[in-house]
Structure 1
Amino acid sequence: MAGTTPKARALGAELRRAREEADLGLRQLAAQLGTSHATVSRWENGLRSPKPEDVAAYLAKVDAPAELRAELVELARDPDGSHWLSVGMPDQHRQLAALLEIEREATSITTVSPLLVPGLLQTADYARAIMIGAEVPHDEVDMRVAVRLGRREAIVRNNAAKLRAFIGESVLYQLIGGADVMADQLRMLLKYSEMTNVDLRVIPMRSGWHPGLEGPFSLDQFEDRTPVVQLENRISALFLHEPDEVAAYQHAVDRVDEEAMNPSDSSELISSAISRMETAK
């Protein structure tokens, strides 16, 4: 569906940010472009994909840097394509912007994370320990941690999204950041599990095969837009939104659900992991 893709959302978010930095109102810019404010609003909200020439004109009016103009005009060349694969910067920054927009608008978020606490549920110290271990440039760590914590808004805002989080049991026994950091992270998981809009489930190590063993993924659903799947690894990320691709991951969630423990047993296992960690200090 045109204008509802992750790339269209990312493009719209970047355009809106550029306009706000230029201190231009929506109607003011629309008048300068000779179009309606409704059209510009749809561009910025990802509901309609502007043509590359529209993007160039928009960015010229807000006096955006030449480098940004080139990047966004290129992004506008195929905003409704079936896949969006990013490898390296700045495309990964664009995808992060899209992810924030997607989670902000989602009514339901499902995350399957067999090896790490999902990003939406990470504490600052846990996230920082991961980034330091992954050798993220030192001057970017604080900013990235802040962005990751900002994602939490999706499940604590008014009309919060419903979150289903499936976490591999081995995650509970890791020592990312040390015992204290890990214990605090597990306590935070228990707090999240008590929220009415959060369904936190542990996938036991003695489970049978399930799609989560193929790697982490998230599925975001909306009231009036096409669902989106996000896949991510160390150097790249991929968004999917075609119906057959989304259906495959919806089925994958069902398979993971069959192997996961129920919420009560999951919380009990997390509590047990905290106790063992505290005893071992």
Structure 2
Amino acid sequence: MSELKVYPALLLLGHALRELRIKHDVSLRTMARRLGFNPSILSAWETGLRRPPAEALGYILGHLRVRPPAYRLLVQIHEQGDRLNCVERLAPDTPSLEPAYEQLAARKFEWAPHSVPKFLRTPDYIRAELQCRDVPSDDIDQAIFAQQVREIDRPKHFPSVILVSEAAWPSDTDLPRLENVTAGIVPTSTSEPGTIDAFTIYETDSGFATVVLRHEHARIYLGDPEIVKGYRSAFDRLQREVSR
């Protein structure tokens, strides 16, 4: 049996097209009829199973009146549709497509060696961190409120395992207890050189798995099965260190 492969760009592009269509309150069959597409083909494009021709993508984005920044982003993603790995360039006023994985994922595994993920930042953690920087109390209260809003918006439909390095997490603060989240602290001395950089693995119920690497101006999505397997093995090794 051949190993199941995921093309991250097609998965992201399909999700974006579906969300745009739903946002405009247009059914799949209505959209297909208006643009002269077969509904089953349009469905395959939206699920990331097939890559739409560039001309068809232009028709869809034009029909949905997609704004220029998002239009350019989706075209860039489409250009990488036949690759197991793809790069998403981040630009001002253009949201990242990574939130699509938050909607598609069935499981999430995150390694955070240098900074604490936003959803793990408790009010006590935020207060202690900002007080060390002499931040005014009003600004601290606003930061805590923003964190509480993020927790409300956090997808809770799938389980997540988040590992934080001992160096990143303050020793006098307890890990929070969050719905569907398992968090652990990895001793700094056990972090191997090959796993020191941060990464997130998203898995779907369909068997797809993608590694996401975050940089200041880009997101890198790795769908090559061998690469994903290596990152998952690294995560498992780090997770075993938590219980020691």
Q: TM-score range by the shorter chain?
A: 0.7 to 0.9
Q: What secondary structure, in the 3-state scheme, does the structure 1 residue paired with 2:50 have?
A: coil
CA contact (8 A) 2:122 2:176 kept: no
More helix by share: 1
1:163 paired residue among 160, 178, 185: 160
2:57 paired residue among 48, 55, 58: 55
1:121–1:167 distance in 2 versus 1, CA, 3 Å: same
Equivalent residue for 1:203?
186
Could you tell me which runs of 5 or more consecutive residues in structure 1 were left unpaired when the two chains were aligned.
134-140, 175-182, 263-281
Aligned-residue Cα RMSD (Å) equals 3.5
Equivalent residue for 1:274?
none
Equivalent residue for 2:111?
112
Cα distance in structure 2, aligned partners of 1:67 and 1:234:
18
Cα distance in structure 1, aligned partners of 2:9 and 2:148:
23
Cα distance in structure 2, aligned partners of 1:32 and 1:63:
14
Deviation at 1:148, TM superposition (A): 5.5
* Matching of residue 27 in structure 1 with residue 6 in structure 2: no
1:1-281 superposed matches below 5 A:
4-65=6-67, 68-89=70-91, 93=95, 96-97=96-97, 99-122=98-121, 126=126, 149=151, 152-153=154-155, 156-157=156-157, 161-173=158-170, 186=173, 189-192=175-178, 195=179, 197-205=180-188, 207-210=189-192, 214-261=196-243
One-letter amino acid matched to 1:62: L
Whose RCO is larger (CA < 8 A, sep 6+)?
Answer: 2
Percent identity, aligned pairs only? 24
Q: What secondary structure, in the 3-state scheme, does the structure 2 residue paired with 1:252 have?
A: helix
1:20–1:90 distance in 2 versus 1, CA, 3 Å: farther
1:67–1:260 distance in 2 versus 1, CA, 3 Å: closer
Deviation at 1:147, TM superposition (A): 9.2
One-letter amino acid matched to 2:177: K
Query: TM-score, normalised on structure 2?
Result: 0.74
Please list the CA deviations of residues 118-144 of structure 1 after superposition, one character each: whole Å capped at 9, or x if unmatched. Answer: 244345895xx89xx9xxxxxxx9xx9
Q: What secondary structure, in the 3-state scheme, does the structure 1 residue paired with 2:190 have?
A: coil
Deviation at 1:2, TM superposition (A): 9.8
1:36–1:148 distance in 2 versus 1, CA, 3 Å: farther
Cα distance in structure 2, aligned partners of 1:146 and 1:43:
36
Number of aligned pairs? 226
1:92–1:212 distance in 2 versus 1, CA, 3 Å: farther
Q: What secondary structure, in the 3-state scheme, does the structure 1 residue paired with 2:176 have?
A: helix
1:215–1:237 distance in 2 versus 1, CA, 3 Å: same
Deviation at 1:67, TM superposition (A): 5.4
Could you tell me which runs of 5 or more consecutive residues in structure 2 were left unpaired when the two chains were aligned.
134-142
Deviation at 1:91, TM superposition (A): 10
One-letter amino acid matched to 1:236: A
Q: What secondary structure, in the 3-state scheme, does the structure 1 residue paired with 2:116 have?
A: coil
Cα distance in structure 2, aligned partners of 1:54 and 1:104:
25
Deviation at 1:74, TM superposition (A): 3.7
